Amino acid sequence: MLDAVRIDTILARGEPVFSFEFFPPKTPQAAEQLLRTIDELKPISPAFVSVTYGAMGSNRSQVIDLVARIKDEIGLNPMAHLSCTGHSRDELASILDQLASAGVDNVLALRGDPPRGEEFRPAADGFAHASDLVAFIRSRWDFCVGGACYPEKHPDAPDLETDLAHLATKVRAGTDFLITQLFFDDADYFAFVRRARAAGIDVPILPGIMPVTDVGGVRRMTSMCGAHLPSALESRLAEADGDPARVLSVGVEHATGQCRALLEGGVPGIHFYTLNKSPATRRIVAALRA
């Protein structure tokens, strides 16, 4: 177990860190895959690992169990995602109490996504915004609270200025650090950080990096979250499509270049969206450390 468990304490040291995101498995086979992935990534000594949340909070008990296992059995520092979607205040309080009892110190507070094709609607006696959830956590618990941000604008926001104003509200509510949505052009991250600092947002902003391992998958994901693929990367992926090994090589090369530039630019760390697989992330970190 790391000496510092709270992520804000780790980031305060000023040394760039690596962290990973996983999602709860849906089948026994997927569970075995996830355990293999965590075992393969553990030697990298991540500062923390996060566990995502299902639509409408459908897998909340699984998330609690998984973060507890990661902490107690695997010996890594976990962060649990928690979303407003589908939960009343009492249900959220129960989840937070369970996480606190399990010795989990870090929570990523999210509004959450509605079912595909529907508009977001808060649950009865629930919250409509992540900033409300952050304030609720701050009112009763002593978690380190993370938040999400979008370098290229949240898909639901009408413009960059409105999106940034909402983010500032979330930070003022008590967010300790931010993790960005995936992006593939470092210029978008650095421009976003400049805008955030000008708006008075001074918490650490970790860039979120997802190595491309599947062309169709990344196209679907970028269309959902509003991120764009640079034309040069799009062309290389189109040429490699149908050859998984070549796609992986292109994805790793691009992400490695991103990470090098980000680290040279002074980022506080890099958060990898692993999709519960380790080869791409391991290759990138090995190249960076070499």
The per-residue pLDDT for range 238-248, each reduced to its tens digit, is: 999 999 999 99
Residue with tokens 């979008």, as numbered in its chain? 150
- pLDDT(1) > 50: no
Tell me: domain 7-289, CATH 3.20.20.220, correct?
yes
Identify each DSSP E strand in 118-202 by its residue range.
144-149, 177-182
Mean pLDDT score of the chain, rounded to an integer? 90
**Based on the number of CB atoms within 10 Å of its own CB, is 24 exposed (0-12), middle (13-18) or buried (19 or more)?**
buried
Q: Find the largest Cα–Cα distance for the chain.
A: 53
What is the mean predicted confidence (pLDDT) over 153-167?
92
List the domain boundaries for the chain. Answer: 7-289
Element (H, E) at 231: helix 231-240
Annotation says 264 is catalytic: no
The tokens for 237 are 């992926």
Among 283, 285, 270, 287, which residue's Cα sits nearest to residue 16? 270
Q: What is the pLDDT of residue 73?
A: 87
- pLDDT(133) > 90: yes
Weakest-pLDDT range from 181-185, 276-280, 283-287: 276-280
Q: Which of 15, 21, 40, 118 is flagged as catalytic?
A: 21
User: φ and ψ at 203, to 5 degrees?
Assistant: -80, 160
